[in-house]
Every structure is written in structure tokens, then in C-alpha cells.
Structure 1
């Protein structure tokens, strides 16, 4: 498949094994992650816990970072702050997240962002052979080995999600 997003271009350039899954995004959907999980569970038979969302956060020094957690979970701000070596984090403003990543909200991929940001991935990802994350636009998901995602993002893995 030809690269249509920076995330796919990165994976293709580095020859990282991945599978692309696309679906028609419903503009009425209230939660992009939950929509993706529901569709992928139905189509692929994966567990919803294998589908991860990418969250851009702001650290205490006002710098940005990325937290990646299952769509079935919430981000623990306290645990994520510890994993990202800061005393406190908050969710980044939507416009700030879009500007920093180069992606539209609801389609922010952890891969191929404009700037490489410190990243923490919930350690539950390591319990799966593959996980799914945004491919860089709404309705586009990438399936890859969690170790590849960790390596490509230079991420820390830690228990940063609350169930």
C-alpha cells in the first residue's frame, strides 16, 4: 500500500511489518477510539483492549508528550506524569495537539508526528502479539507489534491506564 500518511510512510521506509485497516468513519461518532475498537472487534475479532488511543499531554514545564493507552481505559494522569518524568500532566488543548502532531484530532498517530515527543505506552500493550493504533487519520488503523511501536517512538512502558 502506498504511504498516505506520515505514519505509514515511516513504517514503509523502515520496512516495519504492519497491517493497515481502514473503515468509513461516522461523523456522528462521539468517541473516535471507541468507534475504531467496535469496528475492529467486529471485523477482525481482536480484543478491544488491543486498540490503543494516542493522547497528547502537557507536562509541568509546558512541554508536550504522548501517552498511549487502550481505548477501553482512561489515562492515569499521576502514573503518566511519573512515566514521563514530570510532577504533573494535563491533557493538551485540541488545537495544540493537532499543530504539534500534524494530524487531525481523532486521527493522531503516535508515529510520524511533526516533532518527536517523549512517549509513554501502557504496559498492557506488551501482553499482545499485535496492537492497533491510529494510522494518521480518522478511519485508518495500523496493526503492529507493540515492541515495534515502543522502538519507533522511543517510549517508556509503564502502567499508565486505569481500567
Structure 2
């Protein structure tokens, strides 16, 4: 066990954890932020996606010791009231069915739109590759990403 200080959602947390413990379990079990989900445990499904200094990462396979001084953003860090444009688009387009994978999907979409504000279908396919939705809401996910792009573009031009 080691005392580690992590910056999660712009707040510092000092935690006691095995340095090899996956970041996911620190976020969920020690810090108590349960929006990030456990899906497969081998970084294949995307349910556990968080941002590490703005880059989407699979937190189920990332040892907490690898975080260092980088900033972690979870689904809770996008907004306190679901007002982030991507979250709003997800609601507008009624994306979730069971909803289990959706926090990871939203985090991947948010990173995509930050890098590519007007993504093509190919951009979306590439960014969302490996994010599994067992309910098959992929057409709604694509539509929501395009809706979020429009919302963000309109907001930026105002």
C-alpha cells in the first residue's frame, strides 16, 4: 500500500492503494465515483473509459501508479448536472438502452469532439472502435455525436 495523491475531476484525493491497483477500482471503490463502469477487465469493451490529461484511457487496466501528476476526468467531471453538450445529445437522441456502457461511450465521444469538432462517419467509427454496446445502440450513438457536434459548434460561434 502507498499513499497516492490523484487529481480527479479537478479535485485532489489522497488515497491508500496498492500501486498496481487498476485506476478503475481506485475511482469507484476508494474515491466513490461510480459512474465509470467495470465491463471486461481487459481493456477491450470501453465501459471504463476516463480521460487522462484529456486522452481517453481504459481505467480497468491502467495501474494507479501510472497516473502520476496527470489529471483524471470521469463522467462525473464533465458536468454536475448533465449539461455538457455530449450528455445533452445523449439525452436528446435517447441513446441509452440499458445504459451500462454509456459513460465510456460519452467519454470517448467527448475526446473525439475536442480533437475533431466536425467529425465524419469515419472519424466517429475510428474513435468509437472497441467501445462495445451490447444493446446495439450504435446508430443512436453516431446520431448523438453529430448532434453534440452541432451543439458545440453553435455554442462556440455565440
Both proteins in one fold, TM over 0.5: no
Q: Quick one: higher RCO (CA 8 Å, sep 6+), 1 or 2?
A: 1
**TM-score of the superposed pair, with normalisation by structure 1:** 0.26
Structure with a larger share of its residues in strand: 1
Structure with a larger share of its residues in helix: 2
**TM-score of the superposed pair, with normalisation by structure 2:** 0.27
- Larger radius of gyration between Structure 1 and Structure 2: 2
